[in-house]
Structure 1
Amino acid sequence: MLSPGTAIAVPGFRIQGVSLLGSRRSSLPARAGVLAATAALLLAGTALPASATQITSIQSTSWSYIDSAQPKKSFADPAGDAPIGAKTDHGKKHVSKSYFTFDLSGLRGAKVLSAELSGKETAVADCSAPRGTELWVTAPVKKAPTWDDQPRELTKLAGPGSLDVCPSDYLDWDAGPVLQQAIDAGRTSLTMVLRLPDNQQYNPRFGRTYRPMLYVSMDKNQPPVTPTALKTGAHPCAETPLVRRGGAAMSATVSDPDDYSFEAEFAWWPVDHPDQRATGIDYVYGSGAYFDPDSQLADGVTYAWQVRAKDSLAASPWSETCRFTTDFTPPATAPTVTSTDYVYEVPGKGGIGIPGDFTLDAGGDTQVVGFQWQAGFTDSGYVAADRPGGTATVRYTPRDDGPMSMSANGLDAAGNYGPSGDYRFFVARNGPSMTCTPARAFLGETRQCVFGPHSTDGATEYLYKIDDEPEVTVPAGPDGTAAISVTPTDAAKSYRVSVRARMTNGNLSGDGGGQIDIDRGAPTVDVPADAMVGKPVVLTLHAVLPGSTSFTYDWDYGEPVTVPVGPDGTARVTVVPDRPYYHTVRVYSTTAAGLGSATNEESVMIGSDEPTITSTDFPECCEGGYETTPGTFTFSSSLPGVVSYTYSFFGAAPVTVPAGPDGTASVTLTPLSTDTQYLDVTSKSADGWVSAPGYYRFYPKSAAPPLTCDATGNLRPGQVVRCTLTPVQPGLASYGYRIRANETTPDVVVQPNADGTGTFEFTAPPTDTKIFLYVDAWSANAAGQRTETSYESYYVDPDAAASRVTRAV
């Protein structure tokens, strides 16, 4: 249950202090129903529609009662319940009224749309007696009343409504009119008296007591507050600023006691023409209102403006009036930028951390009163001119060396930017020098490195770091130098020294220093020139780092192996490559003191043992002999002692042939199609070693005989066609053909003519519909090996005219 004074907010709607006092029935059913339904919606989490009004609850802030038995005594805020009517105590009659005061100070200016006042009975003398409780507004009171000094009772409230129970836990009265009357009269408090009517007041049968607190639930609206904190851009209302385009944005702080979502209405007009008043609306969500009238403003005009807040039922008074003057015309002249401290010539002057003066000149353009400048990517600022159209000096300290530029724009009094002027200059490098002794040395050897200042810049200290280590500061000696000792021990680190000098002007110079020259002692590796896959290969490791006692190496990134360094500074290790071509060996050495050298990573070329395959009949590079034509293929190997070769041709079962005395072998193979042919070959040595396979691919030419027929296009059923085949296949012994239409005819053998050609005829089949007809033809040698197929195609059409045009295929 919500307690009085609790605030509930939903978007566009606020309810404060809705009091739910149990079961209730109102004599004002419509209003009470609205309040109860609203509260129920809130408790159920249901959103309410946007409204400018607020449902709120206030409770009495004080109470007192009077007693006829003690006519001159007031009873203010006592413990216990509030009595009304008569009661008898020890034979003595007491007649009472109870007074309740409400604080109205928070309702100043409010419009009360509806309100109900409620209270709770705690005891009733006789529930069979009719309830006659009355609630009256009294004249203002300055002190607690007594029986002899009662405030005048002015207005009786309609009611009460109640449940048909006794005592009633909820009685309500319509309080809207009396609340509005009090607010309109400017009253900050309202006192009401709870009493019985005169015809019941003195009869103990009608006596009652109430809970000593009354509640008012109301739906009210208060006008928004007059806006405050008015600004034109960043200028308070008291100023009349000169504004550029986009600089006249008007803002104010606004509030509405009932809502956080309302409107702010801005109005502006030329001071000389108040009849040209224009307005704009900002829909406020919160407390800040903003409107930019830029697109509706003219150049060179002084405007006045003000603002008020509005909800759907009321508006605040207009705010105070502010003013501004527009200036939308920027300067026309680009400033010139010059410097004698920093010039364009290379190698330039100055350096990082060395300030220089730059002169900005408006060239007499009196609109310019200052300059906005920028140098590099991060440095910028504003400087006023010594007079309108005059000059200004910027003292700038470069953060980078090399080529740079400074740009400047002239600004007028309104802040309008004129065109940009640019100046290019070069900043000399001024990092400290570094000299190390010895200039080059092995890992583990100490260097003395001396830092020296650049030119005449001087130095009081140096800040240096090695690689990404923390920066260290060392003081400079009387001569401006400083020395450090460095002992490189980590072969993986760069040992690059970055150093800056704290110059005598207190600024830091640019970076100096450099790379410490280190011989990291990576071992070298000797690899035999005849290294072969599958054969032991002896690698010779040579130590370079003085004092090395062991090598650690790995082959093809496998498990590291450590071997001792021999007296001659070398070690020999054996590996057996399991595949040809490129392998990797990595090796580093370690001294007795545990100092590790850099790692040398060598690429080792291992020769392949796969056989070499050659053929002049069917070369691998290009198209060779015809299909069905035998070709010779020769196998050879770089391995000694090869005794045989095993080959597989075009997916057939492997075949083994012996090697000749020269270690080679030749075979004759016949490709039977023009498909790419595959030949894989391995060799076998006398010791049983089987090589990796060699691969050979070749591409036979087609020997299909060209086919020409004396008809083209469409054929008529029954038409006879004569065809000729021309020989291509070496060793040709016969031709063959077949006809494919609705059915495929058997293969027909055609014997060659004396000139080697072959001829045959066929008849187009009978048909009542159009059909396709195909002629396939080929040749074969004495071994019966067929070539690929030549073909012709026709359309057999019962309606076609016969065609006898001969064409070549």
Structure 2
Amino acid sequence: MYPVVVDPWLTALRMGWTHIDSGFPEERYFDDQNRPDVPVGAYVHTNGNIHLSISYFNFGTLDLRGMEIIAATFKAVQIHNAPFACVSTPVQLVMTGWVSQSTSWRNPPPFERAVAATSAAFKEGHAGCPANWVEFDAKSAVEIVAAERREGVTLAMQAPNWDTVNRKRFGKTATLVVEYNSPPSAPSGLTADINLPCASGTDLPATNTSPTLFATGFDADGASVEMRFEWGVAGSGQIIGSYVHPFAPSGRRFSAVVPTSDLRDGVTYSWHAVAGDGRVWGASSGWCGFVFDTTRPTAVPTVTSTSFPENDIGARVGVRGEFTFSSTDPDVYGYRYGFTESTTSFVAAASRSGPAGGGAGGSLADRRAVAVGLQRGQGRQPQPATADVPVHRGAEHRPGAAGAG
């Protein structure tokens, strides 16, 4: 059983506030240090006219870009209610464009959408309805800025009925608290059968067995993740098979086996992986490719050496020798070589259908055979061949690797 991870909370950074007043259309009040509270709604001015007030708050949302939003709450302390202290009147929360020092009633930010509404009646110092927090569900607004990867959001409080006196004042300590979930990262470390690297294009690794796919999953919140592998014929755009590996700790390497029933000889396949945390699936990895090839190459490789020419007397035992392997096969991946077919080393071809060099030191025997296998792809079975290499008898020595030629 893996530990339960609680989704993180964030209090968004407040980046300024302002209010606008219909009775003073040119006035700008951005971060007004002289005003002790935040006005909202309609009120009767001393001149006898009804004035309307809207208050705005900017919040930074850089850390929420691309996140799944679970909950978001905007809240402010109501400290005044009019015309009657404990009689609830409605107040709305709306989403607008960013406010600045140029914001005024004549130059308001663009309206984006209504977010939430409530009714409240609290008044500082009143025994029946003392000052208290008023909360709004702001999830819909924060979801938008997170999905669009915006750097901030502006939320405004206003009264829906501007023809009725419904004055409210709030403290300037309004906050936006967000619970979020970080989607798992795109899987990394993609390989197939350990030694088949992730590759794309035309120069792809190959296998002649049912490949095992590997990918590492990571969740920034530390949550356990599951891994979905999908594969299909390259270029077809269709998924022909998939497997979801069960949950395991973040940072774990996951695997999936592609059944041979999904594969056909000589066909190129693509695969990728996606990690999930039980709430959302993260970004996909890149696509990797491999060729399924169960047909051995038919061309027999040739072996040449100036140090140990075939069917001729070569260098003495213990003398470092060089060999060149080549083939007429049009798709050479590399060669496996050694003094026996059971113990071999691998050397890559210089190019497709190109030669490669390799070799080994002599031995006590006066005649040895260099066994060479042609491989058309990593993981494929080699086509064997042998070159008979006679050597002069010499003292016992410790075999060593030969240089490439």
TM-score, length-scaled by structure 1: 0.35
- Alpha-carbon distance in 1 for matches of 2:114, 2:147: 16
In structure 1, the partner of 2:336 is 372
Contact 1:331 1:411 in 2 (8 A): yes
Contact 1:137 1:190 in 2 (8 A): no
Q: Are 2:10 and 1:15 equivalent residues in the alignment?
A: no
1:70-85 alignment runs, 5 A limit: 71-77=25-31, 79=33, 82-84=37-39
CA deviation after TM superposition for structure 1 residue 278, in Å:
1.6
**Counterpart pick for 2:116 among 150, 157, 181:** 157
Opposite residue 373 of structure 1, the aligned amino acid is Y
- Alpha-carbon distance in 1 for matches of 2:330, 2:217: 41
Aligned residues: 362
Residues 291-319 of structure 1: CA deviation (Å, up to 9, x unaligned):
44264434322334444444544446877
CA deviation after TM superposition for structure 1 residue 375, in Å:
7.5
- Alpha-carbon distance in 2 for matches of 1:408, 1:267: 39
In structure 1, the partner of 2:172 is 210
Opposite residue 15 of structure 1, the aligned amino acid is D
- Alpha-carbon distance in 1 for matches of 2:185, 2:260: 29
Distance 1:59 1:132, change over 3 A: farther
SS at 1:157 equivalent: strand
- Alpha-carbon distance in 1 for matches of 2:323, 2:166: 97
Q: Are 2:349 and 1:384 equivalent residues in the alignment?
A: yes
- Alpha-carbon distance in 2 for matches of 1:237, 1:391: 24
Q: Are 2:251 and 1:286 equivalent residues in the alignment?
A: yes
- Alpha-carbon distance in 2 for matches of 1:386, 1:227: 31
Q: Are 2:358 and 1:394 equivalent residues in the alignment?
A: yes
- Alpha-carbon distance in 1 for matches of 2:252, 2:93: 40
Contact 2:216 2:251 in 1 (8 A): no
Opposite residue 215 of structure 1, the aligned amino acid is L
Gap regions ≥5 residues in structure 1: 1-9, 18-55, 432-809
- Alpha-carbon distance in 1 for matches of 2:26, 2:235: 69
Residues 94-148 of structure 1: CA deviation (Å, up to 9, x unaligned):
9864311234566567665543222346x6699x933768342143246452134
- Alpha-carbon distance in 1 for matches of 2:119, 2:201: 56
Quote the sequence identity (%).
21
Contact 1:339 1:359 in 2 (8 A): no
In structure 1, the partner of 2:125 is none
- Alpha-carbon distance in 2 for matches of 1:367, 1:152: 63
CA deviation after TM superposition for structure 1 residue 328, in Å:
2.6
**Counterpart pick for 1:428 among 391, 395, 399:** 395
In structure 2, the partner of 1:147 is 105
Distance 1:99 1:279, change over 3 A: same
1:757-796 alignment runs, 5 A limit: none
Distance 1:78 1:408, change over 3 A: farther
Residues 354-374 of structure 1: CA deviation (Å, up to 9, x unaligned):
532356688x88887642335
Residues 148-175 of structure 1: CA deviation (Å, up to 9, x unaligned):
434477536234789987443x432222
- Alpha-carbon distance in 1 for matches of 2:329, 2:201: 30
TM-score, length-scaled by structure 2: 0.62
- Alpha-carbon distance in 1 for matches of 2:369, 2:37: 84
Distance 1:375 1:111, change over 3 A: same
Opposite residue 258 of structure 2, the aligned amino acid is P
Contact 1:104 1:188 in 2 (8 A): yes
1:596-607 alignment runs, 5 A limit: none
In structure 1, the partner of 2:290 is 324
**Counterpart pick for 1:238 among 181, 201, 207:** 201
Distance 1:216 1:315, change over 3 A: same
In structure 1, the partner of 2:316 is 349
Contact 2:372 2:385 in 1 (8 A): yes
User: Which structure is larger by alpha-carbon Rg, 1 or 2?
Assistant: 1
SS at 2:335 equivalent: strand
In structure 2, the partner of 1:137 is 94
CA deviation after TM superposition for structure 1 residue 420, in Å:
8.3
- Alpha-carbon distance in 1 for matches of 2:330, 2:201: 27
Contact 2:95 2:115 in 1 (8 A): no
- Alpha-carbon distance in 2 for matches of 1:161, 1:237: 61
- Alpha-carbon distance in 1 for matches of 2:134, 2:257: 54
Distance 1:287 1:84, change over 3 A: farther
Contact 1:306 1:319 in 2 (8 A): yes
- Alpha-carbon distance in 2 for matches of 1:133, 1:427: 104
- Alpha-carbon distance in 2 for matches of 1:324, 1:350: 42
- Alpha-carbon distance in 2 for matches of 1:227, 1:64: 44
Distance 1:383 1:427, change over 3 A: farther
SS at 2:12 equivalent: strand
CA deviation after TM superposition for structure 1 residue 191, in Å:
1.9
- Alpha-carbon distance in 1 for matches of 2:98, 2:352: 70
In structure 1, the partner of 2:139 is 176
**Counterpart pick for 1:101 among 47, 53, 58:** 58
- Alpha-carbon distance in 2 for matches of 1:184, 1:298: 41
Opposite residue 5 of structure 2, the aligned amino acid is F
Residues 663-710 of structure 1: CA deviation (Å, up to 9, x unaligned):
xxxxxxxxxxxxxxxxxxxxxxxxxxxxxxxxxxxxxxxxxxxxxxxx
**Counterpart pick for 1:118 among 63, 67, 75:** 75
Distance 1:230 1:79, change over 3 A: farther
**Counterpart pick for 1:413 among 376, 382, 404:** 376
- Alpha-carbon distance in 2 for matches of 1:251, 1:87: 70
In structure 2, the partner of 1:795 is none
In structure 2, the partner of 1:706 is none
- Alpha-carbon distance in 2 for matches of 1:176, 1:276: 35
Opposite residue 268 of structure 1, the aligned amino acid is W
Contact 2:44 2:51 in 1 (8 A): yes
Opposite residue 30 of structure 2, the aligned amino acid is A
Distance 1:259 1:87, change over 3 A: farther
SS at 1:286 equivalent: coil
CA deviation after TM superposition for structure 1 residue 182, in Å:
6.6
CA deviation after TM superposition for structure 1 residue 243, in Å:
0.3
Distance 1:252 1:160, change over 3 A: farther
Opposite residue 228 of structure 2, the aligned amino acid is E
Residues 647-675 of structure 1: CA deviation (Å, up to 9, x unaligned):
xxxxxxxxxxxxxxxxxxxxxxxxxxxxx
CA deviation after TM superposition for structure 1 residue 269, in Å:
3.2
**Counterpart pick for 1:302 among 265, 268, 274:** 268
Structure number with greater CO (CA < 8 Å, separation at least 6) is: 2
CA deviation after TM superposition for structure 1 residue 237, in Å:
2.5
Residues 729-753 of structure 1: CA deviation (Å, up to 9, x unaligned):
xxxxxxxxxxxxxxxxxxxxxxxxx
SS at 2:107 equivalent: coil
